[in-house]
């Protein structure tokens, strides 16, 4: 699978697209820019792998800056806010059905491409 080709299929920011599934998990790509909402996940860690660009994972305990090729896992329950000053592209892996905002009422809908 060519992830760049999958990312070329959409322009929206903070709207993950599922590109594969395995063992009850979604493998997703997403374009990000600006601030996302502060949130946490009660039941799962949150994995971020930067494909291009730079992002900061803001946390109450301190920020983590990531560039292309770098990965960070936010532990379950830790409040965080992803931020990208310029557009960045990420790969995310999380259990299927995980609300990207930590709240199903405000989460992006699941889209498979």
- Residue 30's alpha-carbon distances to 50, 52, 61, in angstroms, are 10, 11, 25
Q: Where are the domains of the chain?
A: 3-95
Contact in structure between 26 and 93 (CB atoms under 8 Å):
yes
Position 102 scores a pLDDT of 66
Which tokens belong to 11? 């322009």
Q: Where is mean pLDDT largest: 42-46, 54-58, 97-101, 106-110?
A: 54-58
What CATH number labels 3-95? 2.60.120.10
- Which of residues 83 and 106 earns the better pLDDT score? 83
Kindly state the average pLDDT of the residues 17-30. Answer: 96
pLDDT at 101 over 70: no
Position 53 scores a pLDDT of 98
Q: pTM for the full model? A: 0.91
């Amino acid at each position: 699978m060519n992830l760049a080709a999958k990312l070329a299929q959409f322009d929206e920011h903070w709207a993950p697209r599922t590109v594969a599934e395995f063992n009850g998990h979604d493998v997703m790509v997403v374009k990000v820019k600006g601030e996302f909402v502060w949130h946490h996940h009660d039941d799962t860690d949150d994995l971020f792998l930067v494909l291009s660009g730079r992002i900061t994972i803001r946390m109450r305990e301190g920020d983590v800056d990531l560039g292309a090729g770098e990965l960070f896992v936010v532990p379950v329950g830790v409040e965080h806010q992803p931020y990208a000053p310029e557009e960045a592209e990420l790969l995310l892996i999380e259990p299927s059905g995980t609300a990207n905002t930590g709240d199903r009422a405000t989460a992006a809908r699941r889209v498979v491409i």
